Chain A
């Protein structure tokens, strides 16, 4: 059932391109603002680059997370979906995995302009950075699907989502920025492994909470 649900999520997005396009256009706009406003010392830009990257990710992801349930909300397809004999934890997993895919694709499209527009030097090794970004995506979307599921039925879901999401993911974002800074500034792993552990703990806690409680989160 998980593969069918995931296939449906990807198929619906492929048809609409609603989630990725909204995140991408917003992300590029914010990036342009950053590029034009930060025309000072390249050292300072290099110093704050991890923070800029995660600000970009979290702002764009808010738009994408809001759209995650929009197709189901419009025609109340969500009622038909949850009335079907599907394990609701599996439904959460499918939303989580698809959300990570959409966010990762957006980041992949944004990362090159990010380095170019801000005049940043490319990092020495890519793989630890990819690992941190993927782990961060896992955490943001794990929390995001829970909050989006909660906010979906509210009339002002677009307002409710960031209000609930930002306080919940602030510790995660701090850990993501710290770990990315450690990697990008080529510090020894021992200096930033603590922050990686914080992100991993976040992923486990919110992933499990979403899987277990999604049944209660989405019911009216």
Chain B
């Protein structure tokens, strides 16, 4: 589904990523972990074509992502660190416009059903700027129920969520793993990473230093060793 070859990126002459190579198959859930500043978020932003690498190539479903054809990015959904929403619009308006940007026309009834499912219906008429971080996080995840995506790039999906919110997001992440979709997510909780993912990649010193299936023996201690 996704092939990443020789990606390098630096900010102000300081390298952030060096010669990153990997590929993701359909149905795979890949956890990307590493210390702060390891380049995880930058890598996700490059895959979402928000950021441009100095060199390298990315193919999604056999198409080059950097040739400027917007349709080649169809099916990729990026969910970043920041809310990534229009602060003055309500939850329903944000969902309506962002689903339209992803090529899906969504009826108000369907939007309200999804908002109910994500426990946001009470604040449906409030502008998003008054939402708590957890509510914004849930709203970002709610969009995934409305659009047709095949690759999810998500940076710390449990960030800002309370315990029940984290349980809910876990449930949703499991439900999205239906064998037809791939997920690349960034997280810092090793137990959760091992529970959710089928593969773990560790970024350190601007490169991938570990890339193993989640079932790999004694993976947790290996990751802990690399992270310290």
Within 8 A of B (CB), among A69-85: 71-72, 74-77, 79-85
Contact B89 A15 (CB under 8 A): yes
Could you tell me the distance in whole angstroms from the C-beta of B92 to the nearest C-beta in chain A? 12
Contact B128 A75 (CB under 8 A): yes
Contact B84 A88 (CB under 8 A): no
Bound-state Cα–Cα, A79 to B93, Å: 18
B20-45 vs A, Cβ < 8 Å mask (1 yes, 0 no): 00000000000000000000000001
Give chain B residues whose Cβ lies under 8 Å from the Cβ of A11.
89, 93
Contact B88 A84 (CB under 8 A): no
Point out the residue from B52, B81, B89, B103 that lies within 8 Å of A219, measured CB to CB. Answer: B52
Knowing A4-B97, A219-B51 are in contact, say whether A71-B76 is a contact too (CB < 8 A). Answer: no
Cβ-closest chain A residue relative to B128:
A75
Chain B, interface SS category: loop
Give chain B residues whose Cβ lies under 8 Å from the Cβ of A82.
49-50
Contact B86 A85 (CB under 8 A): no
Could you tell me the distance in whole angstroms from the C-beta of B130 to the nearest C-beta in chain A? 12
Give chain B residues whose Cβ lies under 8 Å from the Cβ of A72.
86
Q: Does B226 contact A (CB under 8 A)?
A: no
Point out the residue from B52, B71, B84 that lies within 8 Å of A76, measured CB to CB. Answer: B84
Give chain A residues whose Cβ lies under 8 Å from the Cβ of B89.
11-12, 15
Interface residues of chain A, those whose CB is within 8 Å of chain B, are 1, 4-5, 8, 11-12, 15-16, 71-72, 74-77, 79-88, 215-216, 219-220
